[in-house]
Amino acid sequence: MGRNDAFTGMASVQKAFALLDVVASDQRGLTAKEIAAALDIPVPTVYRLLKALVDSEHLVHLKDDSRYALGYKVHALDTSLRRQVGTPSAVARLILELHSRGEAAAYYAVHRGDHIVVAHVVDSPAHRRITPMGFGFNDAAHATAFGKILLAGMDPDRRRTYLARHGMPSMTDHTLGTVEELDEELERVREDGIAKEREEFILGASCLGAPVINAAGQIVGSVAVSMDAADFDRRAATVAPLLRDTADRVSRALRATSVLPHRG
């Protein structure tokens, strides 16, 4: 394979992933022309990619509607991802208990490679999670309580590398806007042992987070709850001790298993 062939192949892979993202963005699926318009690539190229993705079962062709939608192989990938991220059943039970006792959506987040990722969420119609903070969410760590916990646990060099790669996008008018502001906030998190997030990710919701710590004293995860911003001041003092207790119990549960997440 020549150098140009290698570049062409890589471009095709990138286009295929972009195509999957575009198709996933519409619950009905999309036509080939709609995909071509969204990606600004020629229709013949779209058809070539669609054929390959349908053959691999990552997409299906809904012939009656002339649309393409996600295939069942994507579900298998999701199942495998959940298995690889690996939230032990004991931890899942504790997050469920936190949700029930705290009357709030409850989250468990971990380091995974160069990401801070939500590994488990429990919510309910009465206490819904923040959209889009479901399993696999890995954005805006500087604007979330569980993200602040994990950032606070990083050494300065690693934190700078993380922020240089992921940035600090402004989510609301309350989002911390500079590294200096974030450093001051993370120092408070280390002193208090708890992180607060007040409408920094989305207006109308605020969060509390607490660290999950391994036997070496390193922060390897975090548990968090979200609640209506209007209730935060009234409820935070009551929920914080429950959150700390859950984080401690999660830490002990992980130490008793063979899947304790490594720091980094």
Average pLDDT over residues 179-201: 97
Structure confidence by residue, pLDDT tens digits, 107-134: 999 998 889 999 999 999 999 999 999 9
Distance of alpha carbon 12 from alpha carbon 89, whole angstroms:
40
Report residue 212 as tokens.
Answer: 């999950």
Asked if residue 195 is part of any domain, the answer here is: yes
The C-alpha angle with vertex 126 and arms to 120 and 129, in degrees rounded to 5, equals 30
Q: Note whether 94 and 68 are same-domain residues.
A: no
- 52: domain CATH number? 1.10.10.10
Q: Note whether 40 and 156 are same-domain residues.
A: no
Q: Report pLDDT for 79.
A: 76
Contacts by residues 239-246 (CB-CB < 8 Å, ≥ 24 positions apart): 239/102, 239/104, 239/208, 240/194, 240/208, 240/210, 242/98, 242/101, 242/102, 243/98, 243/102, 243/194, 243/208, 243/209, 243/210, 244/193, 244/194, 244/210, 246/94, 246/95, 246/97, 246/98, 246/106, 246/210
Measured in whole angstroms, the distance separating CA 241 from the mean position of its chain's CA atoms is: 25
Chain mean pLDDT for the chain? 91
The residue among 40, 75, 110 that closes a domain is 75
Q: Note whether 112 and 239 are same-domain residues.
A: yes
Q: Note whether 71 and 43 are same-domain residues.
A: yes
Q: Note whether 109 and 193 are same-domain residues.
A: yes
Q: Report pLDDT for 143.
A: 98
DSSP the chain: --HHHHHHHHHHHHHHHHHHHHHHTSTT-B-HHHHHHHHT--HHHHHHHHHHHHHTTSEEEETTTTEEEE-HHHHHHHHHHHHHH---HHHHHHHHHHHHHHTSEEEEEEEETTEEEEEEEE--SSSPPPTT-STT----GGGSHHHHHHHHTS-HHHHHHHHHHH-----STTS--SHHHHHHHHHHHHHHT-EEEESSSSTTEEEEEEEEE-TTS-EEEEEEEEEEHHHHHHHHHHHHHHHHHHHHHHHHHHHTSS-PPP--
* 260 has pLDDT over 90: no
Asked if residue 263 is part of any domain, the answer here is: no
Q: Note whether 128 and 195 are same-domain residues.
A: yes
Q: Report pLDDT for 258.
A: 54
- 92: domain CATH number? 3.30.450.40
Structure confidence by residue, pLDDT tens digits, 238-256: 999 999 999 999 999 998 8
Asked if residue 260 is part of any domain, the answer here is: no
Q: Note whether 190 and 230 are same-domain residues.
A: yes
Asked if residue 81 is part of any domain, the answer here is: no
Asked if residue 180 is part of any domain, the answer here is: yes
Domain count, the chain: 2
**Which pTM does this prediction carry?**
0.77
Asked if residue 15 is part of any domain, the answer here is: yes
Q: Report pLDDT for 5.
A: 45
Domain that includes residue 112, residue range? 86-255
Q: Note whether 18 and 92 are same-domain residues.
A: no
Q: Note whether 109 and 235 are same-domain residues.
A: yes
The residue among 75, 109, 131 that closes a domain is 75
Structure confidence by residue, pLDDT tens digits, 23-66: 999 999 999 999 999 999 999 999 999 999 999 999 999 999 99
Q: Note whether 44 and 143 are same-domain residues.
A: no
Strand partners, 62: 67
